[in-house]
Amino acid sequence: MSPAADELLDKIHTHRARVGVVGLGYVGLPLAVELARAGFDTTGIDVDPRKVDAITRGTSYIPDVKSEEVAKLVAAGRLRATTSFSAVRALDTVNICVPTPLRKTKDPDMSYVAGAVDGIAEHLHSGMLVILESTTYPGTTEEFVQPKLEATGLKAGRDFYLAFSPERVDPGNPKFNTHNVPKVVGGIDPESTALAGALYSSAIEKIVPVSSPQVAEMVKLLENTFRAVNIGLANEIALMCDRLGVDVWEVVTAAATKPFGFMPFYPGPGLGGHCIPIDPFYLSWKAKQSGFESRFIELAGQVNASMPHFVVTRIADALNQQQKSINGSTVLLLGVAYKRDIDDIRESPSLDVMLLLHKKGAKVVYSDPYVPVLTNDHWHGGEGIKEDMKSEALTAAAIAKADCVVVLTDHRVVDYAMVQRAAKAVVDTRNAIEGHHANVFKLGAPGPIFNPALPAVDDVDVDEAKVVA
């Protein structure tokens, strides 16, 4: 190693390195907390003053990070936050954890990464380690980040060190977190890889070095494309089972008993979150630059994107049995977060279902204990709705009032047996309601047989005030 690399390595090993994290969201804040907990003087940088103020007060806005932990680290002087990139001047290492969304044209929006890199470049100094964690296309670190940093006159691999390490955050996962999920690291040279690995190994249990940033970038895209394609397959099987009159949930459950050669994936109303609906398109976009057509990825994306439309057809079927149309009906959506037991609504298919129903004239209300308020902007701007929507208290009376209840996110706190008993009709996209019932329509399963003489719901006291959400 060069003398400068040796000096930085010694600072890391002795926890004297001053570390920074740009972007304090679902990825950045947990990382900053882990680094501070490991004993590093840690500075978080974010352009959102609300996040900075919250951290300064010792408050967490991320469910996976406890406020008590943030408060303890802030009080100990090991964690602080700022909106100013001037803090970079005092740092030895900095991790970039900013969003990487897609444009409407399905090509990468690099504006957040560009803003972070430009802010760092303004204060970049010799001996510094820069690590990109934001998910992006293969080649970003060397083709996009490195030239911007080298425009300062400093040379990567000589004056500063550069690496890519993909984030692997799974919000709401009680078992795997930043500390115990293996960290893949790929630097532009062996020294960069070694320094990045040393930094992470101080706070994370296992480090997986790879030969280059491009390999590390590709690792992340493979992981999420694998999930997107397999979920797309599960969704297509669900559509097929709907036509064949077969219960897809029973099929997958039985197939999952095979101890080898099969991994269960489950259908749903579509893909949501900050990674799986987006990352495969980064890969297909980059492939097109090389003249390669990623047909598997594109097809899976089309299937997954079609699921909210299919859910609306099932809602129409459920209302049809009551001799009602979507237009003018009250539809209660259970869950707008993209997955269970979290408050993250990014790319949530529930929002697509909500908008489709609104455009068809339904009166849409929702209940989600993790998302108390939904602004107009959150669900792509429902025309004619100017006021924020608020989560409904999930009582038997509220359920019975709706013409159709739709389970879109299967939060564990919901009493689904009560939902089934109280509802006129339920469309269950998550197999949250056990068994078969005359008023329950499941995604990818035979619907109840229409019988006008059969009561739609069991007797229930609609004045019951039991609140479950």
Check if the beta carbon of residue 187 is closer than 8 Å to that of residue 193. Answer: yes
Residue keyed to tokens 């760092």: 120
- A 10 A CB-CB count for 455 gives 9
The three-class DSSP label of residue 441 is: strand
- A 10 A CB-CB count for 302 gives 11
Residues noted as catalytic: 275
Residue keyed to tokens 């300064």: 56
Question: Phi and psi at residue 373, in whole multiples of 5°?
Answer: -135, 140
Beta bridge partners of 401: none
Q: How long a stretch of residues is the chain?
A: 469
- Residue 405: left if φ>0, alpha if ψ -120 to 50, beta else—which one? beta
131 DSSP assignment: E
> Which is it for strands 18-22 and 93-96: parallel, antiparallel or unpaired?
parallel
- Rounded to whole angstroms, the Cα distance separating 419 from 216 reads 45
- Quick one: 59 exposed, middle or buried, by C-beta within 10 A (0-12, 13-18, 19+)? middle
- Rounded to whole angstroms, the Cα distance separating 382 from 244 reads 35
Beta bridge partners of 141: none
- A 10 A CB-CB count for 49 gives 12
Check if the beta carbon of residue 218 is closer than 8 Å to that of residue 138. Answer: yes
Beta bridge partners of 131: 95, 163
Tokens of 185: 């690291």
- Rounded to whole angstroms, the Cα distance separating 184 from 30 reads 17
- Rounded to whole angstroms, the Cα distance separating 456 from 188 reads 64
Tokens of 15: 């926890």
Beta bridge partners of 96: 22, 132
The three-class DSSP label of residue 62 is: coil
- Quick one: 356 exposed, middle or buried, by C-beta within 10 A (0-12, 13-18, 19+)? middle
